[in-house]
Structure 1
Amino acid sequence: MNLLDQPLGQLARRIAGATRVFHDHQLDFCCGGKHSLRDAAAARGVDGPAVAARLQDLLDHAGPANRDWGTATPAELIDHIITRFHERHRDELPELIRLAEKVERVHGDRADCPVGLAAHLSAMWRELENHMQKEEEVLFPLLAGGHGVLAGGPIAVLRHEHDEHGEALQRIAELTRDITLPRGACNTWRALYLGLRTLREGLMEHIHLENNVLFEQATAGAPWPQA
Protein backbone atom coordinates (compact mmCIF):
# COMPACT_ATOMS: atom_id res chain seq x y z
CA MET A 1 0.00 0.00 0.00
CA ASN A 2 1.34 3.44 -0.96
CA LEU A 3 0.85 5.53 2.16
CA LEU A 4 1.44 8.76 0.25
CA ASP A 5 -1.78 8.29 -1.71
CA GLN A 6 -3.95 7.48 1.31
CA PRO A 7 -6.20 10.17 2.87
CA LEU A 8 -4.87 11.66 6.10
CA GLY A 9 -8.08 10.81 7.95
CA GLN A 10 -7.84 7.16 6.96
CA LEU A 11 -4.19 6.99 8.00
CA ALA A 12 -4.99 8.62 11.35
CA ARG A 13 -7.73 6.05 11.86
CA ARG A 14 -5.69 3.00 10.86
CA ILE A 15 -2.26 3.72 12.32
CA ALA A 16 -1.88 4.21 16.05
CA GLY A 17 0.46 7.14 16.64
CA ALA A 18 -0.13 8.69 13.21
CA THR A 19 -1.79 11.74 14.73
CA ARG A 20 1.42 12.58 16.59
CA VAL A 21 3.37 12.41 13.32
CA PHE A 22 0.82 14.68 11.65
CA HIS A 23 0.99 17.14 14.56
CA ASP A 24 4.79 17.23 14.22
CA HIS A 25 4.46 18.28 10.58
CA GLN A 26 1.31 20.44 11.01
CA LEU A 27 -0.74 18.25 8.68
CA ASP A 28 -4.48 18.70 9.21
CA PHE A 29 -5.95 15.21 9.54
CA CYS A 30 -9.32 16.31 10.95
CA CYS A 31 -10.97 18.97 8.78
CA GLY A 32 -8.50 18.17 5.99
CA GLY A 33 -8.78 14.43 6.48
CA LYS A 34 -9.88 13.71 2.92
CA HIS A 35 -6.65 15.05 1.39
CA SER A 36 -3.96 12.51 0.54
CA LEU A 37 -0.70 12.55 2.46
CA ARG A 38 1.07 13.44 -0.79
CA ASP A 39 -1.12 16.49 -1.48
CA ALA A 40 -1.22 17.67 2.14
CA ALA A 41 2.56 17.42 2.48
CA ALA A 42 3.11 19.30 -0.77
CA ALA A 43 0.76 22.07 0.35
CA ARG A 44 2.69 22.47 3.62
CA GLY A 45 6.14 22.15 2.00
CA VAL A 46 6.76 18.97 4.01
CA ASP A 47 8.82 15.95 2.91
CA GLY A 48 5.98 13.52 2.18
CA PRO A 49 8.14 10.38 1.76
CA ALA A 50 9.79 11.08 5.12
CA VAL A 51 6.38 11.32 6.80
CA ALA A 52 5.30 8.10 5.07
CA ALA A 53 8.45 6.39 6.35
CA ARG A 54 7.58 7.35 9.93
CA LEU A 55 4.07 6.00 9.44
CA GLN A 56 5.42 2.77 7.98
CA ASP A 57 7.68 2.39 11.01
CA LEU A 58 4.60 2.70 13.25
CA LEU A 59 2.87 -0.01 11.21
CA ASP A 60 5.91 -2.27 11.38
CA HIS A 61 6.04 -1.99 15.17
CA ALA A 62 2.31 -1.91 15.91
CA GLY A 63 1.21 -3.91 18.91
CA PRO A 64 -2.01 -5.92 19.28
CA ALA A 65 -3.46 -3.55 21.89
CA ASN A 66 -3.94 -0.62 19.51
CA ARG A 67 -7.64 0.13 19.13
CA ASP A 68 -9.10 0.56 15.66
CA TRP A 69 -12.16 2.71 16.35
CA GLY A 70 -13.53 1.78 12.96
CA THR A 71 -14.39 -1.62 14.42
CA ALA A 72 -16.17 -0.19 17.47
CA THR A 73 -19.93 -0.14 17.89
CA PRO A 74 -21.53 3.32 17.76
CA ALA A 75 -22.23 3.20 21.48
CA GLU A 76 -18.58 2.38 22.25
CA LEU A 77 -17.24 5.15 20.04
CA ILE A 78 -19.73 7.72 21.34
CA ASP A 79 -18.86 6.84 24.93
CA HIS A 80 -15.16 7.24 24.11
CA ILE A 81 -15.74 10.63 22.46
CA ILE A 82 -17.75 11.96 25.39
CA THR A 83 -15.36 10.68 28.04
CA ARG A 84 -12.07 11.35 26.26
CA PHE A 85 -12.92 14.66 24.58
CA HIS A 86 -16.18 16.33 25.66
CA GLU A 87 -15.46 16.03 29.37
CA ARG A 88 -11.84 17.05 28.91
CA HIS A 89 -12.71 20.13 26.85
CA ARG A 90 -15.15 21.18 29.57
CA ASP A 91 -12.35 20.94 32.12
CA GLU A 92 -9.57 22.59 30.14
CA LEU A 93 -11.20 25.60 28.43
CA PRO A 94 -12.24 27.53 31.57
CA GLU A 95 -8.74 27.12 33.01
CA LEU A 96 -7.10 28.22 29.76
CA ILE A 97 -9.29 31.32 29.71
CA ARG A 98 -8.26 32.12 33.29
CA LEU A 99 -4.57 31.70 32.45
CA ALA A 100 -4.87 33.79 29.29
CA GLU A 101 -6.59 36.60 31.18
CA LYS A 102 -3.76 36.64 33.74
CA VAL A 103 -1.03 36.65 31.10
CA GLU A 104 -2.70 39.52 29.25
CA ARG A 105 -3.29 41.45 32.48
CA VAL A 106 0.29 41.12 33.70
CA HIS A 107 2.22 41.13 30.41
CA GLY A 108 -0.09 43.07 28.08
CA ASP A 109 2.56 45.73 27.49
CA ARG A 110 4.92 43.22 25.86
CA ALA A 111 4.92 43.04 22.08
CA ASP A 112 4.90 39.22 22.20
CA CYS A 113 1.91 39.00 24.55
CA PRO A 114 -1.07 37.19 22.94
CA VAL A 115 -3.48 40.10 23.41
CA GLY A 116 -7.00 39.00 22.50
CA LEU A 117 -6.39 35.33 23.28
CA ALA A 118 -8.64 35.25 26.34
CA ALA A 119 -11.56 36.75 24.42
CA HIS A 120 -10.98 34.33 21.56
CA LEU A 121 -10.88 31.33 23.91
CA SER A 122 -14.08 32.52 25.58
CA ALA A 123 -15.89 32.72 22.24
CA MET A 124 -14.44 29.38 21.20
CA TRP A 125 -15.61 27.81 24.46
CA ARG A 126 -19.17 29.04 23.95
CA GLU A 127 -19.27 27.65 20.41
CA LEU A 128 -17.72 24.34 21.42
CA GLU A 129 -20.09 23.83 24.34
CA ASN A 130 -23.08 24.53 22.10
CA HIS A 131 -21.69 22.08 19.54
CA MET A 132 -21.14 19.32 22.08
CA GLN A 133 -24.65 19.75 23.47
CA LYS A 134 -26.08 19.27 19.96
CA GLU A 135 -24.12 16.05 19.65
CA GLU A 136 -25.10 14.71 23.05
CA GLU A 137 -28.77 15.68 22.87
CA VAL A 138 -29.55 15.11 19.17
CA LEU A 139 -26.99 13.24 17.08
CA PHE A 140 -25.52 10.72 19.48
CA PRO A 141 -28.91 9.33 20.62
CA LEU A 142 -29.87 8.88 16.94
CA LEU A 143 -26.71 6.97 16.14
CA ALA A 144 -26.66 4.90 19.32
CA GLY A 145 -30.28 3.95 18.64
CA GLY A 146 -29.46 2.71 15.15
CA HIS A 147 -31.16 5.61 13.34
CA GLY A 148 -28.19 6.80 11.30
CA VAL A 149 -30.44 7.15 8.24
CA LEU A 150 -32.04 10.16 9.97
CA ALA A 151 -28.74 11.81 10.85
CA GLY A 152 -27.75 13.36 7.51
CA GLY A 153 -28.97 16.85 8.38
CA PRO A 154 -27.41 17.08 11.84
CA ILE A 155 -24.14 15.62 10.52
CA ALA A 156 -23.92 18.25 7.78
CA VAL A 157 -24.37 21.01 10.36
CA LEU A 158 -21.79 19.52 12.71
CA ARG A 159 -19.24 19.01 9.93
CA HIS A 160 -19.55 22.72 9.12
CA GLU A 161 -19.03 23.58 12.77
CA HIS A 162 -15.95 21.34 12.83
CA ASP A 163 -14.52 23.49 10.04
CA GLU A 164 -15.17 26.54 12.20
CA HIS A 165 -13.38 24.87 15.13
CA GLY A 166 -10.42 24.31 12.82
CA GLU A 167 -10.44 28.03 11.97
CA ALA A 168 -10.54 28.83 15.69
CA LEU A 169 -7.42 26.71 16.23
CA GLN A 170 -5.72 28.57 13.41
CA ARG A 171 -6.54 31.85 15.12
CA ILE A 172 -4.89 30.56 18.30
CA ALA A 173 -1.78 29.81 16.24
CA GLU A 174 -1.83 33.34 14.82
CA LEU A 175 -2.15 34.96 18.25
CA THR A 176 0.62 32.84 19.81
CA ARG A 177 3.13 32.50 16.95
CA ASP A 178 2.07 28.86 16.62
CA ILE A 179 2.06 28.46 20.42
CA THR A 180 5.73 29.37 20.68
CA LEU A 181 6.87 30.59 24.09
CA PRO A 182 8.77 33.89 24.13
CA ARG A 183 12.01 34.24 26.03
CA GLY A 184 11.55 34.91 29.71
CA ALA A 185 7.97 33.61 29.82
CA CYS A 186 6.63 33.21 33.35
CA ASN A 187 5.21 29.96 34.72
CA THR A 188 1.62 31.05 34.02
CA TRP A 189 2.52 31.74 30.40
CA ARG A 190 4.23 28.35 30.14
CA ALA A 191 1.22 26.57 31.64
CA LEU A 192 -1.07 28.41 29.22
CA TYR A 193 0.88 27.37 26.12
CA LEU A 194 1.25 23.79 27.31
CA GLY A 195 -2.52 23.70 27.78
CA LEU A 196 -3.09 25.22 24.34
CA ARG A 197 -0.96 22.53 22.70
CA THR A 198 -2.92 19.86 24.55
CA LEU A 199 -6.22 21.47 23.50
CA ARG A 200 -5.13 21.64 19.87
CA GLU A 201 -4.04 18.02 19.72
CA GLY A 202 -7.14 16.79 21.55
CA LEU A 203 -9.60 18.82 19.51
CA MET A 204 -8.03 17.72 16.24
CA GLU A 205 -8.22 14.07 17.28
CA HIS A 206 -11.81 14.62 18.45
CA ILE A 207 -12.82 16.08 15.08
CA HIS A 208 -10.99 13.31 13.25
CA LEU A 209 -12.85 10.55 15.06
CA GLU A 210 -16.18 12.17 14.33
CA ASN A 211 -15.59 13.28 10.74
CA ASN A 212 -13.64 10.26 9.52
CA VAL A 213 -15.04 7.42 11.62
CA LEU A 214 -18.38 8.13 13.33
CA PHE A 215 -19.94 10.29 10.60
CA GLU A 216 -18.55 8.18 7.77
CA GLN A 217 -19.98 5.03 9.32
CA ALA A 218 -23.35 6.70 9.85
CA THR A 219 -23.69 7.95 6.28
CA ALA A 220 -22.17 4.93 4.47
CA GLY A 221 -25.34 2.88 4.72
CA ALA A 222 -23.39 -0.21 5.78
CA PRO A 223 -24.27 -2.07 9.01
CA TRP A 224 -22.49 -0.85 12.13
CA PRO A 225 -20.18 -3.27 13.95
CA GLN A 226 -22.11 -5.09 16.64
CA ALA A 227 -21.13 -5.53 20.27
Structure 2
Amino acid sequence: MSQTLLEQSLGQLACDIPGATRIFHTFKLDFCCGGHKSLREAALGKDLDPTLIAQALHSLQDTGETQLDWRNQPSPVLITHLLTRYHARHREQLPELIRLARRVEQVHGARSSCPNGLADLLTDIQQELEGHMLKEEQVLFPMLQQGIGLQAAPPIQVLRFEHDQHGQALEELLALTNNITPPADACNTWRALYRGLLEFRDDLMQHIHLENNVLFVNALNPRH
Protein backbone atom coordinates (compact mmCIF):
# COMPACT_ATOMS: atom_id res chain seq x y z
CA MET A 1 0.00 0.00 0.00
CA SER A 2 2.80 2.42 0.96
CA GLN A 3 4.38 1.76 -2.44
CA THR A 4 1.37 3.12 -4.31
CA LEU A 5 1.23 6.16 -2.02
CA LEU A 6 4.84 6.96 -2.92
CA GLU A 7 3.99 7.36 -6.60
CA GLN A 8 0.92 9.55 -6.04
CA SER A 9 1.19 13.34 -6.21
CA LEU A 10 1.11 15.40 -3.02
CA GLY A 11 -1.93 17.26 -4.35
CA GLN A 12 -3.85 14.03 -4.92
CA LEU A 13 -2.90 12.67 -1.49
CA ALA A 14 -3.99 15.95 0.14
CA CYS A 15 -7.39 15.49 -1.54
CA ASP A 16 -7.65 11.75 -0.86
CA ILE A 17 -6.54 11.38 2.76
CA PRO A 18 -8.08 13.41 5.59
CA GLY A 19 -5.28 14.78 7.74
CA ALA A 20 -2.58 14.37 5.07
CA THR A 21 -1.93 18.10 5.02
CA ARG A 22 -0.99 18.01 8.72
CA ILE A 23 1.70 15.43 7.95
CA PHE A 24 2.93 17.45 4.97
CA HIS A 25 3.20 20.54 7.22
CA THR A 26 5.20 18.50 9.75
CA PHE A 27 7.72 17.44 7.11
CA LYS A 28 7.60 20.85 5.36
CA LEU A 29 6.40 19.33 2.09
CA ASP A 30 4.73 21.79 -0.29
CA PHE A 31 1.44 20.18 -1.32
CA CYS A 32 -0.04 23.35 -2.84
CA CYS A 33 2.46 24.84 -5.33
CA GLY A 34 4.47 21.62 -5.43
CA GLY A 35 1.36 19.45 -5.49
CA HIS A 36 2.26 17.91 -8.86
CA LYS A 37 5.32 16.15 -7.42
CA SER A 38 5.07 12.53 -6.33
CA LEU A 39 5.50 11.83 -2.62
CA ARG A 40 8.74 9.97 -3.41
CA GLU A 41 10.16 12.86 -5.46
CA ALA A 42 9.15 15.54 -2.94
CA ALA A 43 10.53 13.63 0.06
CA LEU A 44 13.86 12.79 -1.60
CA GLY A 45 14.17 16.43 -2.65
CA LYS A 46 14.18 17.34 1.07
CA ASP A 47 16.47 14.45 2.10
CA LEU A 48 13.56 12.74 3.88
CA ASP A 49 12.66 9.05 3.97
CA PRO A 50 9.62 8.74 1.67
CA THR A 51 8.64 5.38 3.18
CA LEU A 52 8.36 6.91 6.63
CA ILE A 53 5.95 9.56 5.36
CA ALA A 54 3.96 6.98 3.38
CA GLN A 55 3.57 4.89 6.55
CA ALA A 56 2.26 7.95 8.43
CA LEU A 57 -0.27 8.56 5.64
CA HIS A 58 -1.22 4.90 5.62
CA SER A 59 -1.97 5.01 9.35
CA LEU A 60 -4.28 7.99 8.70
CA GLN A 61 -6.23 5.94 6.18
CA ASP A 62 -6.82 3.30 8.85
CA THR A 63 -8.52 5.78 11.21
CA GLY A 64 -11.52 6.09 8.93
CA GLU A 65 -11.62 9.88 9.37
CA THR A 66 -13.72 11.57 6.71
CA GLN A 67 -13.64 14.96 5.07
CA LEU A 68 -15.61 16.67 2.35
CA ASP A 69 -14.09 15.77 -1.01
CA TRP A 70 -14.15 19.09 -2.84
CA ARG A 71 -13.40 17.36 -6.16
CA ASN A 72 -17.02 16.15 -6.20
CA GLN A 73 -18.56 19.53 -5.42
CA PRO A 74 -19.82 21.87 -8.17
CA SER A 75 -17.45 24.76 -8.89
CA PRO A 76 -19.88 27.43 -7.56
CA VAL A 77 -19.98 25.64 -4.18
CA LEU A 78 -16.19 25.47 -3.97
CA ILE A 79 -15.87 29.10 -5.08
CA THR A 80 -18.23 30.23 -2.31
CA HIS A 81 -16.13 28.27 0.18
CA LEU A 82 -12.91 29.85 -1.13
CA LEU A 83 -14.38 33.36 -0.88
CA THR A 84 -15.76 33.01 2.64
CA ARG A 85 -13.14 30.73 4.22
CA TYR A 86 -9.97 32.07 2.61
CA HIS A 87 -10.34 35.37 0.70
CA ALA A 88 -12.26 37.07 3.53
CA ARG A 89 -10.03 35.48 6.17
CA HIS A 90 -6.74 36.64 4.58
CA ARG A 91 -8.12 40.19 4.46
CA GLU A 92 -8.74 39.94 8.21
CA GLN A 93 -5.43 38.25 9.06
CA LEU A 94 -2.84 40.37 7.30
CA PRO A 95 -3.46 43.88 8.72
CA GLU A 96 -3.23 42.52 12.28
CA LEU A 97 -0.13 40.44 11.50
CA ILE A 98 1.57 43.51 9.99
CA ARG A 99 0.67 45.58 13.08
CA LEU A 100 2.07 42.92 15.44
CA ALA A 101 5.24 42.49 13.34
CA ARG A 102 5.93 46.24 13.42
CA ARG A 103 5.58 46.25 17.22
CA VAL A 104 7.93 43.29 17.66
CA GLU A 105 10.50 44.86 15.34
CA GLN A 106 10.28 48.24 17.11
CA VAL A 107 10.72 46.76 20.59
CA HIS A 108 13.10 43.86 19.90
CA GLY A 109 14.88 44.98 16.71
CA ALA A 110 18.32 44.89 18.33
CA ARG A 111 18.05 41.17 19.13
CA SER A 112 19.57 38.71 16.67
CA SER A 113 16.45 36.52 16.90
CA CYS A 114 14.12 39.39 15.91
CA PRO A 115 12.52 38.87 12.47
CA ASN A 116 13.60 42.28 11.12
CA GLY A 117 11.97 42.92 7.75
CA LEU A 118 8.93 40.75 8.53
CA ALA A 119 6.44 43.63 8.53
CA ASP A 120 7.64 44.75 5.10
CA LEU A 121 7.49 41.17 3.79
CA LEU A 122 3.92 40.79 5.10
CA THR A 123 2.97 44.11 3.50
CA ASP A 124 4.31 42.86 0.16
CA ILE A 125 2.39 39.59 0.61
CA GLN A 126 -0.79 41.54 1.42
CA GLN A 127 -0.48 43.66 -1.74
CA GLU A 128 0.33 40.69 -3.99
CA LEU A 129 -2.44 38.57 -2.49
CA GLU A 130 -5.03 41.33 -2.77
CA GLY A 131 -4.28 41.85 -6.47
CA HIS A 132 -4.37 38.10 -7.01
CA MET A 133 -7.70 37.60 -5.22
CA LEU A 134 -9.28 40.46 -7.16
CA LYS A 135 -8.29 38.76 -10.45
CA GLU A 136 -10.01 35.61 -9.24
CA GLU A 137 -13.09 37.43 -8.01
CA GLN A 138 -13.51 39.67 -11.06
CA VAL A 139 -12.28 37.43 -13.89
CA LEU A 140 -11.82 33.72 -13.17
CA PHE A 141 -14.60 32.93 -10.71
CA PRO A 142 -17.34 34.53 -12.87
CA MET A 143 -16.09 32.51 -15.87
CA LEU A 144 -16.22 29.25 -13.91
CA GLN A 145 -19.63 30.05 -12.45
CA GLN A 146 -20.88 30.50 -16.03
CA GLY A 147 -19.50 27.07 -16.90
CA ILE A 148 -16.84 28.21 -19.39
CA GLY A 149 -13.88 26.62 -17.65
CA LEU A 150 -11.98 25.60 -20.80
CA GLN A 151 -11.80 29.25 -21.90
CA ALA A 152 -10.24 30.04 -18.52
CA ALA A 153 -6.90 28.38 -19.39
CA PRO A 154 -4.98 31.69 -19.90
CA PRO A 155 -6.04 33.30 -16.57
CA ILE A 156 -5.48 29.98 -14.78
CA GLN A 157 -1.91 29.89 -16.11
CA VAL A 158 -1.30 33.40 -14.71
CA LEU A 159 -2.88 32.53 -11.35
CA ARG A 160 -0.81 29.33 -11.02
CA PHE A 161 2.34 31.40 -11.60
CA GLU A 162 1.22 33.87 -8.90
CA HIS A 163 0.54 30.94 -6.55
CA ASP A 164 4.18 29.91 -7.02
CA GLN A 165 5.22 33.45 -6.07
CA HIS A 166 3.06 33.23 -2.91
CA GLY A 167 4.81 29.94 -2.13
CA GLN A 168 8.21 31.62 -2.48
CA ALA A 169 7.08 34.42 -0.14
CA LEU A 170 6.07 31.80 2.44
CA GLU A 171 9.57 30.29 2.16
CA GLU A 172 11.03 33.75 2.89
CA LEU A 173 8.67 34.07 5.86
CA LEU A 174 9.83 30.73 7.27
CA ALA A 175 13.49 31.68 6.81
CA LEU A 176 12.97 35.00 8.58
CA THR A 177 11.15 33.50 11.57
CA ASN A 178 13.13 30.32 12.26
CA ASN A 179 10.26 28.26 10.80
CA ILE A 180 7.78 30.42 12.76
CA THR A 181 9.37 29.35 16.06
CA PRO A 182 9.57 32.09 18.71
CA PRO A 183 12.62 32.23 20.98
CA ALA A 184 12.15 30.73 24.44
CA ASP A 185 11.95 34.15 26.10
CA ALA A 186 9.65 35.77 23.51
CA CYS A 187 7.07 38.23 24.85
CA ASN A 188 3.33 37.69 24.48
CA THR A 189 3.11 39.97 21.43
CA TRP A 190 5.84 37.97 19.67
CA ARG A 191 4.09 34.69 20.50
CA ALA A 192 0.73 36.05 19.31
CA LEU A 193 2.37 37.15 16.06
CA TYR A 194 3.83 33.69 15.42
CA ARG A 195 0.57 31.92 16.30
CA GLY A 196 -1.13 34.14 13.72
CA LEU A 197 1.61 33.43 11.18
CA LEU A 198 1.18 29.67 11.60
CA GLU A 199 -2.56 29.99 11.02
CA PHE A 200 -2.01 32.25 8.00
CA ARG A 201 0.57 29.86 6.52
CA ASP A 202 -1.75 26.86 6.96
CA ASP A 203 -4.72 28.76 5.51
CA LEU A 204 -2.80 30.05 2.49
CA MET A 205 -1.39 26.62 1.66
CA GLN A 206 -4.83 25.01 1.91
CA HIS A 207 -6.31 27.87 -0.16
CA ILE A 208 -3.72 27.39 -2.95
CA HIS A 209 -4.11 23.61 -2.77
CA LEU A 210 -7.88 23.78 -3.31
CA GLU A 211 -7.41 26.10 -6.30
CA ASN A 212 -4.41 24.42 -7.96
CA ASN A 213 -5.34 20.79 -7.34
CA VAL A 214 -9.15 20.94 -7.41
CA LEU A 215 -10.75 24.08 -8.88
CA PHE A 216 -8.29 24.60 -11.75
CA VAL A 217 -8.04 20.88 -12.54
CA ASN A 218 -11.83 20.52 -12.67
CA ALA A 219 -12.16 23.63 -14.84
CA LEU A 220 -9.67 22.37 -17.42
CA ASN A 221 -10.91 18.75 -17.34
CA PRO A 222 -14.71 18.99 -17.32
CA ARG A 223 -16.59 15.78 -16.70
CA HIS A 224 -19.37 15.07 -19.19
Q: Shorter-normalised TM-score: what interval?
A: over 0.9
2:46 is aligned with 1:44: yes
State the alpha-carbon separation in 2 of the partners of residues 109 and 49 from structure 1: 43
Partners of 1:156 and 1:222 in 2: CA distance: 20
Cα deviation digits, residues 182-224 of structure 1 (max 9, x gap):
121000000011111111111011101100100011111434x
Deviations 1:71-100 (A, max 9, x none): 000011111111111111111000000000
Match among 22, 27, 30 for residue 29 of structure 2 = 27
In the alignment, which residue of structure 2 is the partner of 1:121?
122
Cα displacement string for residues 115-148 of structure 1 (whole angstroms, at most 9, x for unaligned residues): 0000110011011011111101110011011011
Q: Distance in 2 between matches of 1:24 and 1:141?
A: 36
TM-score (norm. length: structure 2): 0.96
Structure 2 portions without partners, runs of 5+: none
Matched residue, 1:11: 13
Deviations 1:30-89 (A, max 9, x none): 1100100011111112221121111112112224x5211110000111111111111111
Q: Distance in 1 between the 2:143 and 2:33 partners? A: 23
Structure 1: 5+ residue stretches without partners: none
1:176 lines up with 2:210 in the alignment: no
> In the TM superposition, what is the alpha-carbon distance from 1:14 to its structure 2 partner?
1.0
Alpha-carbon distance in 2 for matches of 1:103, 1:200: 19
1:159 and 2:160 correspond: yes
Tell me the C-alpha RMSD between the 2 structures.
1.0
Q: Matched residue of 1:185: which SS?
A: coil
Q: Distance in 1 between matches of 2:216 and 2:192?
A: 34
Seq. identity, %: 55
Superposed structure 1 runs of 4+ greater than 2 Å apart: none
| Map of 2:57 onto structure 1 | 55
Q: Which residue identity is paired with 1:6?
A: Q
What amino acid is aligned across from residue 139 of structure 2 in structure 1? V
Aligned residues: 222
- Match of 2:107? 106
**Residue number in structure 1 paired with 2:84:** 83
